[in-house]
Amino acid sequence: MKKHLLKMDDLSKEEILDILNLADQLKYEFKHAIPHEHLKGKSLGMIFEKSSTRTRVSFEAGMYQLGGNALFLSSRDLQIGRGEPIKDTARVISRFLQGIMIRTFSQEEVETLAKYSSIPIINGLTDSEHPCQVLADLMTIREYKNTLEGLNVAYIGDGNNMANSLIVGCLKTGMNFSLASPKEYMPDENYLLRGKELSKLECTKFTITHSPSEAIKNADVVITDVWASMGHETEAKNRIKAFKDYQVNSELMDLAKPNAIVLHCLPAHREEEITEEVLEAHASEIFDESENRMHAQKAVLVKLMKN
């Protein structure tokens, strides 16, 4: 595994499965109160330029369970909030800590942090990528379906950071992936090209469409996300109009397989991208998915920081 986790494509198929296997083990130990202090005496800095519920709590609790500690560092508390270059922040913090998780806007900022850091950097979310969430999603899919290979995954909605990382993560692990987004809200062309490349390498199907009903047909897994992510709130009214036919509702779910599961990275805007009815019908897998953020991230922390 590389020194950092900056994007989903940093991981090979084997490394993804290795992380998932360790995450399963750590979850078992957590559930059975078996100590697993792999990072005793180590500290993780958590830089937040975007607010968070799941990311902060899962990383902070996870580090505690691993025997280490986590420091919450908002941009308001750091000198980067007052103009210090990220490369200087990286070189300073590297001397105090054993790892950094950053949740921010620009992927370039994360890449710069990693370039000048001498300790592992973990991308907790950028506008381009959300690898930790996708690892949790893969973990959840495998828990419910007992496999990843050969499953049909449908993503319905905004071609955002979740869509980008899901394209790579799902296709790399042998799943067929269908994506339905409005024409003006498709993922970046580089991710679409990478998806086509991966589908050839892994002998999987990658379907790009503007039709939710086409994407969801015979799906084993249905995934959606909010229509207006952080930073796009001012576009909310226009996005609601553009995405009105992309709601995951009972009529659309009738086109998926009868035993299909539904995932949502949360927070959900009920009656926008997903109905209350569908969310509550699939609450077990959605909130298992949320819990699995902690277990998947603990596996990443151990892989990057233990040695």
Domains and CATH numbers, the chain: 4-130+292-306 (3.40.50.1370), 131-290 (3.40.50.1370)
Report pTM.
0.96
- Would you call 112 helix, strand, or coil by DSSP? helix
Q: Write the Ramachandran bin of 146: left for phi over 0, alpha for psi from -120 to 50, otherwise beta.
A: left
Binding site for carbamoyl phosphate, by residue number, is 52-55, 79, 103, 130-133, 265-266, 293
Binding site for L-ornithine, by residue number, is 161, 225, 229-230
Looking at residue 18, the DSSP 8-state letter turns out to be H
Which two three-digit tokens encode residue 17?
């499965």
Give residue 26's pLDDT. Answer: 98
Residue 90 backbone phi and psi in degrees, to 5: -60, -45
Below-50 pLDDT ranges, the chain: none
Q: Which positions ≥6 away from 155 have C-beta within 8 Å?
A: 162, 163, 166, 177, 178, 179, 180, 215, 223, 224
Give residue 79's pLDDT. Answer: 66
User: 133: part of which helix (H) or strand (E)?
Assistant: helix 131-145
Give residue 36's pLDDT. Answer: 98
* Separation CA 23–CA 141 (nearest Å): 13
In SS3 terms, 238-280 reads as HHHHHCCCCCECHHHHCCCCCCCEEEECCCCCECCCECHHHHH
User: 55: part of which helix (H) or strand (E)?
Assistant: helix 54-65
Instruction: For the beta carbon of residue 78, count every other beta carbon within 10 angstroms.
Output: 18
Give residue 154's pLDDT. Answer: 98
E strands, the chain, where? 43-48, 69-74, 99-103, 121-125, 152-156, 176-180, 206-209, 221-224, 261-264
Give the residue numbers annotated as catalytic, written as ranges: 103, 130, 133, 225, 265, 293
